[in-house]
Amino acid sequence: MKTNDPYLMIPGPVTVLPRVLKAMSRPLIPHRGKEFEEILKECVEGLKPLFGTREDILILSGTGTLGMEASISNFVSEEDVVLNIVNGKFGERFYEITKRYATPRLLEFEWGKSIDIERVEEEIEGVDAITIVHNETSTGVLNPVKEIAKIAHKHGALVIMDGITSVGGEYVEMDKWGIDVAVVGSQKCLGCPPGLCAVAVSERAWDKA
């Protein structure tokens, strides 16, 4: 069947399911009312298994990049050293954001290649937090966050993860892996329109905040 609908061949926004479009066309309800409170609760609870967490989840108005910025700006301060592990465009974005809020330490790998865990171990000394992109969409590399988080925790560093294109699509176990802050974007594996992101926050991260 011929259609004039755009055929999206990008990593997100993805084509939104008809039932989601239908839900969006329903009459408005008060955004400070009881009914909305119930919907918000349901969304937060529904997200928890996708992150693999029992921790708090905050849904924010803004795209994934806003979530990345929130996950840095709220959990580190100027004097903190943040190890930015970069092997693609979005890892680089975390580095750019870090420059505005903390003291970055860049650890770059060839784009399209995975991360050398031994190099992370060499660079972790004196680091307060690390940033890592789980699924580096720019090249399609799925990074070994579980192994990296293990090293970070051994040295008391907070683990901040961009799960924007992994949460809901890939196996993510935030609590088991020891991820402290993780972000997802609405227009990726969640199959919704862009404009929302969710940030999951561990107790350790709250303490630091």
Interacting residues with ligand PLP (CB under 6 A)? 11-12, 63-65, 90, 133, 137, 162, 164-165, 185, 194
The candidate with the shortest Cα–Cα distance to 134, out of 97, 95, 171, is 171
- Minimum CB distance to ligand PLP smaller for 63 or for 103: 63
Instruction: Give the shortest CB-44-to-ligand PLP separation in angstroms.
Output: 19
Instruction: Give the shortest CB-82-to-ligand PLP separation in angstroms.
Output: 17
- Minimum CB distance to ligand PLP smaller for 65 or for 114: 65
What sign does the dihedral 160-175-189-145 (CA atoms) show? positive
Instruction: Give the shortest CB-109-to-ligand PLP separation in angstroms.
Output: 16
The candidate with the shortest Cα–Cα distance to 161, out of 191, 153, 11, is 153
Q: By beta-carbon distance, which residue lies closest to ligand PLP?
A: 64
Cβ–Cβ < 8 Å for 190, 184: yes
The DSSP output letter for 163 is -
- Minimum CB distance to ligand PLP smaller for 103 or for 139: 139
Residues in the chain: 209
Instruction: Give the shortest CB-34-to-ligand PLP separation in angstroms.
Output: 30
- Minimum CB distance to ligand PLP smaller for 11 or for 144: 11
* Helix/strand/coil for 188: coil
* Helix/strand/coil for 170: strand
- Minimum CB distance to ligand PLP smaller for 53 or for 166: 166
Instruction: Give the shortest CB-187-to-ligand PLP separation in angstroms.
Output: 6
- Minimum CB distance to ligand PLP smaller for 63 or for 73: 63
Radius of gyration of the chain (CA): 18
DSSP letter string over 13-69? SPPPPHHHHHHHTSPP--TTSHHHHHHHHHHHHHHHHHHT-SSEEEEEES-HHHHHH
Instruction: Give the shortest CB-165-to-ligand PLP separation in angstroms.
Output: 4
